[in-house]
Amino acid sequence: MTTTTDVRPPATGDPRTPDATGVPGAVGLTALTALAPAVWGTTYLVTTELLPAGHPLFAGLLRALPAGLLLLVVLRRLPQGVWWWRSLALGALNIGIFFPLLFVAAERLPGGVAATVGAVQPLLVIGLALPLLGERPTLARVGWALAGVGGVALVVLGPDATLDPVGLLAGLGGALSMAAGVVLTRRWGRPPGIGSGVLVSWLLTAGGLVLLPLTFLLEGAPPAIDAPAAGGYLWLGAIGGLAAYLFWFRGLGSLPVVATALLGLLSPVVAAALGWLILGEALRPVQLAGFALALAAILGGQLTRR
């Protein structure tokens, strides 16, 4: 099987034609892609309310490896040639390295600070897109990315926010790892004749294999799993892992990379909304303004590309 070294992956079709959802292609694909970060926004609620404490890497492992192995068994396609190391690199950047750094940041920083640091990812994508994709940043894109960081900060930052240097470095490192994974996924595309499902199977498996030794070295034996925890792990693996990554990488292969990165702002926004709806957390006027600003940045990023 041959591989491709094209900087841009082939287009999946005319965005003006209806896709399988019956919605014009670009709009329907954007909506499906947005489901991924929206689902990832449930991770905080599921982790704190259903899962045993002290095992975040184990949760990340179950989110990635079973889904990747299941897809490999179903689709029965293995990487060839350069795609062995590309799959390992992309799986590590998007999952295997990103998860541990994310959890370190979450443990050492208040949730609002960690979420705000993670929200700089679209800015990092803009910076990496110039040397790796040849995409020059526009004032509009930079402006929407900055607005998104400001909106997330208004939603999630509290008066008790503290800054831990290790946590900040971990948060920035996680955002950089994910940003590099997003841009390189766009740059390398996928081999000819390989669908997004096969690519996702490679990346989830590779990311899970990177997490496997880290999980048992840092957390030891797996925790006891009761019925609520089993439901939480099932949600993280089947919906937050398998379904969400299928949607995410399908969109990432076709949509503009910065516009796709801005969709990631949905994660902290959804997490804050669920905290208000389900956990009864307070929602102040400044947070409502942050919601509006973050949603405007997401929408503006999608419209700017046109």
**Is the pTM of the predicted complex or chain greater than 0.75?**
yes
pLDDT band at 179 (very low <50, low <70, confident <90, very high): very high
Looking at the DSSP assignment, which residues form a beta bridge with residue 24?
Answer: 18
Q: What is the pLDDT of residue 227?
A: 94
Token code pair at residue 103:
């959890």
- Residue-wise pLDDT for 230-274, tens only, equals 999 999 899 988 999 999 999 988 888 888 888 988 888 888 888
DSSP-assigned states of every residue in 1-58? ------SSPPP-S-TTSB-TTSSBHHHHHHHHHHHHHHHHTTHHHHHHHHSPTT-HHH
pLDDT reading at 20 higher than 60: no
Average pLDDT over residues 58-87: 93
Q: What is the pLDDT of residue 8?
A: 42
pLDDT reading at 7 higher than 60: no
Q: What is the pLDDT of residue 56?
A: 83
Average pLDDT over residues 188-195: 88
Q: What is the pLDDT of residue 15?
A: 37
CA distance 114 to 143: 21
On average, the pLDDT of the chain sits at 83
pLDDT reading at 122 higher than 50: yes
The letter for the amino acid at 300 is: G
Q: What is the pLDDT of residue 283?
A: 74
Average pLDDT over residues 147-161: 77
- Of 245 and 303, which is predicted with more confidence? 245
Q: Count CB-CB contacts under 10 A for residue 272.
A: 24
Q: What is the pLDDT of residue 182?
A: 92
pLDDT reading at 2 higher than 50: no
Q: What is the pLDDT of residue 158?
A: 64
Q: What is the pLDDT of residue 154?
A: 84
CA distance 153 to 212: 33
- Residue-wise pLDDT for 226-242, tens only, equals 999 999 999 989 998 89
